[in-house]
Each structure stands twice: as C-alpha cells, then as structure tokens.
Amino acid sequence: MKHTEFKKELHKFISSRNIGQLCTKCKFSEKNKIASRMCDCTWRFGPGLKSIYQFFKATYNLKAILACNYRYISYDNIFSCVFDYNTDCNNENFIWAQNLYIFIFPMEDIAIVCNRHLTKNIPLFDNIVNNTLEHKKMFNFKYYNYDLAVWLTGPHIYIFDEESPLEMVCFKDRSYEQSDVSDVMISNHRWYKKTFIQEVREALKHVTW
C-alpha cells in the first residue's frame, strides 16, 4: 500500500467512532453534542492505541517493531524489539509520542522507531526528516489516549517503497578529519560498533517467527 493511500485509510480509521456500541447516556450526549464524562463504551473517541497498532500490523504485515533504547548513547545495542508477531502490545503508549519517527519497511515487515538524536546519526533518516520533499511524505495523526483521557498527536510516520531493503540504511560515518565540535561532543570519540543491519538482527535475535 502506497503511503498516500495508507495515510487516507489511517485517518479514516482513526476518525471512526463506534456509535453503535455506546451506552444510552453516551448516545444521548453524542446526539445532543453534550460533553459527557467518559464511560467504558468502546471507541467513544475512536480506536485506542491497541487498535491503531493492530491497524498498522494488519496493513503492513508487521512482524516486529524495533525502537531505539536508551543504550543508543553507548553506540551498541541500539534497538530493542518492542512488539513482535507473537506478543500483544501491552506497552502501547511507548512508541506513540509525537517527538518520535516511525519508519516502515514493507519489504521487511518491520517498523523502526527512532528519536531525533538517532535520526541525526542516520543520514538516510536525517535526510527524510530535514529534506522538504521527503518530509512531505511524512505524516502524523491525532488519537484519543484512553489511559490519559486526552487527545494526543502521534509520531511522524514514513513508509519506504515496497522495494526498499534495510541494507540501504547506514549509521553516520565519522571522517578522519572530523572537526565539527558538536559531533565530537556527541560521539565522545566513540562510534558505532556494528552496522545498522547488524543492530537490527541483534534486536530480532529473540523473536521467533
């Protein structure tokens, strides 16, 4: 599914409310546009995060979602597998913050979640975030967070072409004549020990397909 099509479908899905399953009180307030306290009606404000995750998973046959963990600072074991094919998402709040970027690789059935620090260290991702043309292909969405009882903005989503392999992603190289002060401070004279694809494999090691 192309990204434009997915964006459209996702927005349609997010805005769907399960009016049929609302209790009489909620149905009444919905009909009369009265703000009522939230009760346990399902999908009072549209799908919850669990359902949104299922939507992504079903659309792209996602086998795993990898997210950068705090150890990326050590430039080793950059990713953890947050959801895989066999486990349900019980920590769904984790990857849906608006300052995160989700890169979907349809060919590999994998999604990778990065924060801004990590995208800066991956030239391909950094280009997508900063290049106006590519950035246009990124989108996010508003959703209702039932745990917190508030509307929130979701992460930035980018979907690669069907043919894009993970191998095309590389960490930033440090040149021998690196003189950029900020770069040296970030790296503290250390650099990535493994390649991007090795880090992905490492994170997937415990996943049984």
Considering only the stretches 41-49, 55-63, 117-125, 142-150, report the one whose residues sit in contact with Zn ion under the rule CB under 5 A. Answer: 41-49
In the complex, the smallest distance separating the C-beta of residue 1 from Zn ion, rounded to whole angstroms, is 34
In the complex, the smallest distance separating the C-beta of residue 41 from Zn ion, rounded to whole angstroms, is 3
By CB under 5 A, residue 26 contacts Zn ion: yes
> Mind spelling out the 3-state secondary structure of the chain?
CCHHHHHHHHHHHHCCCCHHHCCHHHHHHHHCCCCCCCCCCCCECECCHHHHHHHHHHHHCCCEEEEECHHHHHCCCCEEEEEECCCCCCCHHHHCCCCCEEEEECCCCEEEEECHHHHHCCHHHHHHHHCHHHHCCCECCEEEECCCCEEEECCEEEECCCCCCHHHCCCCCCCCCCCCHHHHHHHCCCCCCCCHHHHHHHHHCCCCC
> Residue 162 has which token pair?
């069907």
By CB under 5 A, residue 107 contacts Zn ion: no
By CB under 5 A, residue 39 contacts Zn ion: yes
Q: Which of residues 39 and 97 has its CB atom nearest to Zn ion in the complex? A: 39
Query: What gap in Å lies between CA 54 and CA 96, rounded to an integer?
Result: 13
Q: Which of residues 41 and 113 has its CB atom nearest to Zn ion in the complex? A: 41
Among 1, 19, 23, 107, interactor with Zn ion by CB under 5 A: 23
In the complex, the smallest distance separating the C-beta of residue 20 from Zn ion, rounded to whole angstroms, is 12
In the complex, the smallest distance separating the C-beta of residue 44 from Zn ion, rounded to whole angstroms, is 6
In the complex, the smallest distance separating the C-beta of residue 30 from Zn ion, rounded to whole angstroms, is 9
- Give residue number: closest CB to Zn ion: 26
Q: Which of residues 18 and 87 has its CB atom nearest to Zn ion in the complex? A: 18
Among 6, 10, 14, 41, interactor with Zn ion by CB under 5 A: 41
Binding residues for Zn ion (CB under 5 A)? 23, 26, 39, 41
